[in-house]
């Protein structure tokens, strides 16, 4: 598995300086990736830090500096570092970054043994359709009905192929995603497949009333904890930050949103930071909730119907 990550996903070679960042909860996997890196370069280091408070919280300054000095960063940590200034600075310096929050060995073995070229093809097709559109409507049987603008926004494909300078993506990979235009989202979100808070299956579903591009009222599973985050982080945490569509056929809904959001037949909506995907909201919080059996239309044309791609994909 580690050979595949180093070669197929990151193209690690003798000239690379590889940094693996783990925390005290993910030390074992960090050590595994560190050992794997040493098979391809002598310049590899492992940093084990305390877990950060939440997804999108910044790591210690010495970790951020080490990330900027690396040409390849692997981030198997408990809380995501994707939406941080530390990660952005590393990418801007040219590092190829694999973000792997809360990844497990079993998940890696199952979801990375996939056809990356097919995932890339489908993800790019979806991203291109969204980029060409102006208005997106998302509905689902549990009650979701959300409309927002993507005018002028570029959708992205998370393909798992991170071989170019400055590339950033998740491992496991497999989604198309976009940052809705701030202030435009209106409607209702019902998070029924995987929680915004813990990534686990949701019972009862979380209901979010959305007006003016932000979450106004929250009820259901995880609502008190989400309201606490809103108070701690500020109003930016309420921003409707992302729509994503899963494209990894090996992914399944589990207690880990990194995998759950990649499941074919689901969509996910994130709150909080969208700055690092082309938006303007920059706060130390980004969390995704997964929606089952979505129907998605771009400018009235179906992209997905009841969890199935509408066009050949």
What is the per-residue pLDDT across 63-74, written as a single tens digit (0 to 9) for each?
A: 999 999 999 999
Residue 267 placed within a domain? yes
Mean pLDDT score, 278-307: 97
* Per-residue pLDDT, 311: 72
pLDDT band at 216 (very low <50, low <70, confident <90, very high): very high
Task: Dig out the tokens for 26 from the structure.
Answer: 């993910």
Residue 12 CB burial class (10 angstroms; 0-12, 13-18, ≥19) = buried
The answer on 175 and 151 residing in a single domain is yes
pLDDT higher than threshold 90 for residue 203: no
Give me the pLDDT at residue 200, please: 66
Domain's final residue, options 103, 129, 162: 103
Residue 256: its pLDDT value, please?
Answer: 87
Whether 111 maps to a domain, the answer reads: no
For residue 117, count other CB atoms closer than 10 A to its CB.
Answer: 10
Domain presence at residue 108: no
Question: Is residue 312 over pLDDT 60?
Answer: no
95-119: pLDDT as tens digits: 999 999 999 999 999 998 888 889 9
Q: Are residues 148 and 243 in the same domain?
A: yes
Cβ-Cβ contacts under 8 Å for 312 (sequence gap 6 or more): none
User: Rounded mean pLDDT of 144-171?
Assistant: 97
User: Residue 252 belongs to what domain range?
Assistant: 116-309
Position 56 pLDDT exceeds 60: yes
The yes-or-no verdict on residue 234 having pLDDT over 90 is yes
Task: Output the pLDDT for position 54.
Answer: 92
Residues 6+ apart with CB under 8 A from 228: none
Whether the CB-CB separation of 56 and 272 falls below 8 Å is answered with: yes
Which of 103, 134, 159 is the last residue before a domain boundary?
103
Same domain, 144 and 84: no
Residue 207 forms part of a structural domain: yes
Given a cut of 90, whether residue 136 has pLDDT beyond it is yes
Question: Does residue 160 fall inside a structural domain?
Answer: yes
> How far, in Å, are 46, 76, 171, 190, 208 from residue 205 at the CA level?
39, 29, 27, 6, 10
Average pLDDT over residues 16-38: 98
Residues 144 and 263 in one domain: yes
Do 17 and 66 share a domain, yes or no? Answer: yes
Average pLDDT over residues 34-39: 98
Q: Is residue 43 part of a domain?
A: yes
CA 28 to chain centre: 22
The answer to whether residues 126 and 194 belong to one domain is: yes
205: pLDDT strictly greater than 70? yes
Asked whether residue 120 falls in the same domain as residue 98, the answer is: no
Looking at every residue in the chain, the average pLDDT score rounds to 95
Report the pLDDT averaged over residues 87-99. 98
Calculate ∠ Cα 115-155-170, nearest 5°. Answer: 45
Q: Are residues 25 and 147 in the same domain?
A: no
Q: Are residues 98 and 151 in the same domain?
A: no
Are 153 and 246 contained in the same domain? yes
Residue finishing a domain among 57, 82, 103: 103
Whether pLDDT at 313 is above 70: no
122 and 162 inside one domain: yes
pLDDT bracket for residue 92 (50, 70, 90): very high
Q: Are residues 87 and 30 in the same domain?
A: yes
Q: Which of 108, 112, 122 is nearest to 160 (CA)?
A: 112
Q: What's the pLDDT at 254?
A: 86
pLDDT for position 93: 98
- Taking the C-alpha atoms of residue 122 and residue 249, their distance in angstroms, rounded to an integer, is 11
pLDDT-based confidence at residue 94 (cuts at 50, 70, 90): very high
Total domains, the chain: 2
Residue 275, domain member (yes or no): yes
pLDDT at 179 over 70: yes
Helix, strand, or coil here: 121?
helix
Residue 199: per-residue pLDDT: 65
**Cβ contact 11:163 at 8 Å:** yes
The two most distant CA atoms of the chain are separated, in Å, by 53
Lowest mean pLDDT among 1-5, 87-91, 165-169, 252-256: 252-256
Query: 196 lies in a domain?
Result: yes
């Amino acid at each position: 598995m580690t050979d595949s990550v180093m070669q197929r996903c990151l193209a690690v070679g003798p000239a690379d300086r590889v940094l693996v960042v783990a925390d005290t909860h993910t030390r074992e996997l960090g050590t595994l990736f560190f050992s794997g890196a040493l098979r391809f370069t002598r310049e590899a280091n492992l940093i084990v830090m305390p877990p950060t408070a939440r997804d999108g919280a910044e790591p210690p300054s010495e970790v951020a500096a080490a990330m900027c000095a690396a040409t390849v960063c692997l981030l198997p940590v408990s809380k995501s570092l994707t939406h941080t200034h530390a990660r952005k600075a590393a990418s801007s310096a040219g590092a190829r970054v694999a973000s792997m929050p809360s990844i497990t060995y079993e998940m890696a073995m199952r979801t990375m043994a996939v056809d990356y070229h097919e995932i890339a093809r489908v993800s790019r097709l979806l991203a291109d359709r969204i980029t060409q559109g102006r208005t997106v409507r998302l509905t689902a049987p549990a009650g979701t009905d959300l409309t927002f603008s993507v005018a002028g926004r570029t959708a992205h494909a998370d393909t798992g192929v991170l071989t170019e300078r400055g590339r950033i993506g998740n491992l496991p990979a497999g989604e198309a995603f976009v940052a809705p235009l701030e202030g435009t989202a209106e409607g209702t979100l019902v998070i029924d497949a995987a929680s915004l808070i813990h990534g686990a299956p949701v019972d009862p579903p979380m209901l979010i009333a959305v007006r003016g591009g932000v979450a106004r009222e929250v009820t259901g599973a995880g609502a008190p904890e989400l309201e606490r985050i809103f108070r701690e982080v500020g109003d930016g945490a309420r921003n409707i930050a992302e729509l994503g569509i899963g494209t990894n056929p090996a992914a399944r809904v589990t207690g880990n949103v990194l995998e759950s959001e990649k499941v074919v037949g689901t969509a996910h909506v994130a709150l909080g930071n969208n700055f690092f995907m082309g938006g303007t909201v920059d706060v130390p919080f980004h969390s995704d909730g997964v929606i089952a059996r979505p129907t998605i239309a771009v400018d009235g044309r179906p992209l997905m119907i009841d969890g199935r791609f509408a066009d050949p994909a």
